[in-house]
Amino acid sequence: MYSFLRVAQRGKSRRCKKSAAAAAAEAACPEPDDASKTNANAADSGTTASAPHQPHHQHRSAVVDGVAGSLRRQESSCDSGCQRVSINVAGEIFETQLRTLRRFPGTLLGNDQKRLQYWDASRGQYFFDRHRPSFAAILNYYQSGGRLRRPNEVPEEVFYEELRFFQLDEAVIRSFLVSEGYSQLTVRHWSQPSWRTSLFSALHYPKTTKFGRLLVAPSVAIIILSVALHCLHSQPDPCTAADGTGEDGNRSSAASTRYLPLVFGPKQMSISSNSLWFTRLEFACVSWFALEFCIKVAVCPLPRTHLVRSAAVWLDAISFTPYFISVAMETLGRFCADSGLMRALHFSHVLRIFKLYRYVTGMQILGRTLRMSIRELTMFLFFVGVSVVLFASAIHQAEGAVHRQFQSIPHAFWWAVISLCTVGYGDAVPRTLVGKLIGSACVVAGVMTVALPVPVIVTNFNSVYRRTVLSKRVQNRPELLHKKLLHPVKCCAIRSSADIVE
């Protein structure tokens, strides 16, 4: 019964279509009136015949055929979105619907005019001599409505080039690059460039200019030389190493006379010629640091508050100011060379090694990793502190009566720290059975405490390393570049492409 009703409905719809076509034909060719009939009879008799007249039934059938063809064209145009499109990519055939490609009309496949140049009329398909595995993911982008994912077997560089070729939107490519580990970079330029801005950029951000890149090698060499000289100055003087006394019979050290010959001349020549050369070389290195700092401050086009807030500027100042403070204090004789203040000033010379942070990518990666892992490091220090207090108290109660190194809890802190770090120097060891059990528990707890933050720190290191390596290729990624002008009157910073990861 249901089939019979469907057949009846189909027949009714067909009769309706035919009646509609007939109505359109009648509207296009109406029935002739009396005047028309009279003219037609006259034309048949041959009395008046200005032009040959087509039979009425033939004209009416032609109009009906034209209307039916128009209806068929309308139906085909309505179904054009369901047409299949064959795409040949390096010999592999892909098929999809035309309306699927037209979802993104700004792309190569979605635009009819752009796609037409790759039409192969002999085979009735589009041909692209491109990477086949990449195209499967690109076609899935059209079919899924905008979800893009790189196949695991496709290299990142190859997939990026395919996205550029098929003219996907820059926002889509940017999203893909960010998902692959890239970061959008802000490249800042001076709105009013001058010799001052160029010199300041070369000194403060050496990787942003050609002149700054030329200064990288000598700057790194001078930093390494100054640190090496600082280490060599701790060696005893060969002239006084035998008896430990100077020419005046008093015990002297390299730290107490290292600067004086350079400042006061021959009358202070109480050290050997080798030490004098070391002193002069160190003075030359410190002079380079001071000159670099003074030029940077003098030509800085930004407000001085920008320099005050910069940690790199403070590090530059620390690289040479302790040297001159030590010279002044030793010259005036206000402090002994072995005093705590002088030793602190001498120790600050080794901080020059952190000036390499500006030039060495590895130190930048390490610094960023530590900043990202600050929560894990804080948690680690908290666990270590709690464990040190706990095991130091336990070992004091177990060994305090028989071992003088555990006579108090603060004395036992050293043993607890080296045991938690699984170092165990052996200078303090438990002797009783209870003490040995406490020591074993301390070592096991130390292994667990150290192992907890390590995976997170390693993950952060890999993330920072990958991001830093990828940022070096940012010049080939126009989707990730965001240019911003700098006005010297405003307090803002410029950074190189290797440092700007925002």
φ/ψ bin of 244: left (φ > 0), alpha (ψ from -120 to 50), beta (otherwise): left
Cβ atoms of 108 and 117 within 8 Å: the answer is no
Q: Quick one: fold of 197-360?
A: Four Helix Bundle (Hemerythrin (Met), subunit A) (1.20.120)
Interatomic CA distance for residues 453 and 200, integer angstroms: 40
Pairing state between β 84-89 and 125-128: parallel
Rounded CA separation 375/501 (Å): 20
All residue ranges of the chain with pLDDT < 50 are 1-57, 59-64, 66-81, 241, 246-271, 481-502
pLDDT confidence of residue 30: 44
Q: Which residues have C-beta within 8 Å of that of residue 497, sequence separation ≥ 6?
A: 185, 187, 207, 471, 472, 474, 475
DSSP state letter for 236: P
DSSP secondary structure string, 215-228? HHHHHHHHHHHHHH
Residue 338: its pLDDT value, please? 62
The C-alpha atoms of residue 87 and residue 201 are separated, in whole angstroms, by 52
Fold (CATH) for 82-172: Potassium Channel Kv1.1; Chain A (3.30.710)
Residue-level pLDDT at 348: 84
User: What is the reported pLDDT for 44?
Assistant: 42
Would the CA dihedral through 239, 244, 245, 250 be positive or negative? positive
Locus of tokens 């086949």: 132
**Residue appearing with tokens 């001498």:** 346
> Which one is the CATH code of 374-452: 3.30.830.10, 3.40.50.150, 3.40.640.10, 1.10.287.70?
1.10.287.70
- Does 197-360 match 374-452 in CATH topology? no
Residue found under tokens 């160190």: 282
Domain ranges of the chain: 82-172, 197-360, 374-452
Residue 250: the pLDDT is 47
119-120 and 125-128 strand pairing:
antiparallel
CA gap 111, 169 in Å, rounded: 13
pLDDT score at 472: 62
Is pTM, for the whole model, over 0.95? no
Specify the pairing of strand 125-128 against strand 185-190: unpaired
DSSP 32: P
d(CA 412, CA 330): 40
User: How high is the pLDDT of residue 323?
Assistant: 87
